[in-house]
Structure 1
């Protein structure tokens, strides 16, 4: 396909927050707090919210909990905000069922991760996503490529073939390379909306054709991320670069260990009692907690 430098559509807006899942002191999902957090994130600039993704600890949530979270967030923010449900699985049958249920529950889209652990070949990945796309033909899909977690990577050529399904509209690129965006655009053209899966790569990915970000840092600096995106899109590159550089310490701090351990600690430090991650993840250790606290304090002074 042509790699003409046309701008891609923005099916879910530009700034999406990959929401944490709040837990109470007993480790149960705190639905009331999830609703309040969802509204706050929208007030702070998020165009859309992703529930039950990596940051939302989907591997340790039951399907019932995931369905309840989707319904809660959908109701909390209303119809003017895009709400995506994480529906991926390493079982095609489970991913098909979860995606169908998300569509029925009023999701605006589904984030569907590359199957993890199984390490399927490209033909297997294609068949997996074909089944998911066919199961909910009216639900826009964001494919999710994160090889560091899944053990394999979907190729741009495979994505291009999947675009025969009209609901395959976007991809979250979390391979850690801006080249992924370029290769996707060269294979798929501008119809595919590529979102950065890494806050620290948002600005360089915008420069090579990404349309926005699925963000972790927006739990804390949503307005500043939105300002960076707006500045870049309006041609104020120096201002965008200034935001990018000032936010780098936070971006790095939020991935000093496995996500979402640091962001949950950062939210607790910011007055949001979202609880500890579920086992096998653990709370942030004291040394990292102290470092994160200092990073947040310094950020407030910039």
Structure 2
């Protein structure tokens, strides 16, 4: 495998909060530094794991600025700017492009359930309005619509700055079709930690990761072994970490990844409503899993 421009292990960084649930920008900078030192190849800021639905544009801007300053050019910083209104996304992306970020992630529009032509027009409009590279994000479990392989490939072939996709459709057949039909240099990332090994076997380049917040070096090991074609070693490393990959999703993300960071001695605050913090029972089960896999 070649070297993808954004690397292979990309944590979707959680967004630290203060006790009153205002953004904790100082802690965000500390977390970004911790992840860089832990082996992250790039960072996704304010994606699903970063509570994007409840962090609004002015706060997003401050968060992006803080992380760009903390990372200081050591690795790329990718801002999630996707929304379900095309015009809003274009305007916001244009503002964020001035902040020094290295790329954008844009999710499939949620709730309004556009047809495939609407998805194509949405993403192509955004891509033609900015110069920075764009990672598409397909997650039908949250968006209520699946972007088909045909639409993803149409975007990849038609738009030079559409450079990758985070695929969380759960369909390995769809992933395989995108990998096989993609133009040279277009990257397919797993959008689900537990599917990373299988997606890389199909030709994916890595993962945009939740567990990367908690165990970046362990997830980095898996993707690097896959990239080197050391499949038996990768499978063993993947199996060792799988209980935590799955355990972090026993309730809605990012409730448990924030709890895991607290258990690991790096608290990042709670989650904003309508999410709720982990229960005592969930925390105890998570702690057992973290000890089982050797993260604690």
Fold conserved between structures, TM > 0.5: yes
Equivalent residue pairs, number: 295
Quote the Cα distance in structure 2 between the aligned partners of 1:50 and 1:85: 6
Mapped contact 2:149–2:175 kept (Cα < 8 A) = no
1:119 aligns with 2:113: yes
Quote the Cα distance in structure 2 between the aligned partners of 1:133 and 1:301: 40
> What RMSD over aligned residues (CA atoms) do the two structures have, in Å?
1.4
Quote the Cα distance in structure 2 between the aligned partners of 1:295 and 1:149: 26
Q: What is the CA distance between 1:8 and its match in structure 2?
A: 6.2
Structure 1: 5+ residue stretches without partners: 1-6
1:265 aligns with 2:259: yes
Normalising by structure 1, we get a TM-score of 0.94
Matches within 5 A, 1:19-34: 19-34=13-28
Q: Which moved more, 1:97-106 or 1:125-134?
A: 97-106
Mapped contact 1:11–1:169 kept (Cα < 8 A) = no
Mapped contact 2:260–2:287 kept (Cα < 8 A) = yes
User: Which residue does the alignment assign to 2:78?
Assistant: 84
Q: What is the CA distance between 1:237 and its match in structure 2?
A: 1.8
Q: Which moved more, 1:59-68 or 1:226-235?
A: 226-235
Mapped contact 1:15–1:46 kept (Cα < 8 A) = yes
Extract structure 1 runs of 4+ deviating beyond 3 A: none
User: Which residue does the alignment assign to 1:4?
Assistant: none
Q: Deviations over 1:204-245 (max 9, x none)?
A: 111101001000101121111111222222232221111100
Mapped contact 2:82–2:107 kept (Cα < 8 A) = yes
Quote the Cα distance in structure 2 between the aligned partners of 1:272 and 1:262: 13
Quote the Cα distance in structure 1 between the aligned partners of 2:234 and 2:189: 17
Matches within 5 A, 1:1-302: 7=1, 10-136=4-130, 138-163=131-156, 164-300=158-294
Structure 2: 5+ residue stretches without partners: none
Mapped contact 1:9–1:191 kept (Cα < 8 A) = no
Quote the Cα distance in structure 2 between the aligned partners of 1:214 and 1:185: 16
The SS at the match of 1:191 is coil
Q: What is the CA distance between 1:144 and its match in structure 2?
A: 0.2
Quote the Cα distance in structure 2 between the aligned partners of 1:273 and 1:225: 20
The SS at the match of 2:121 is helix
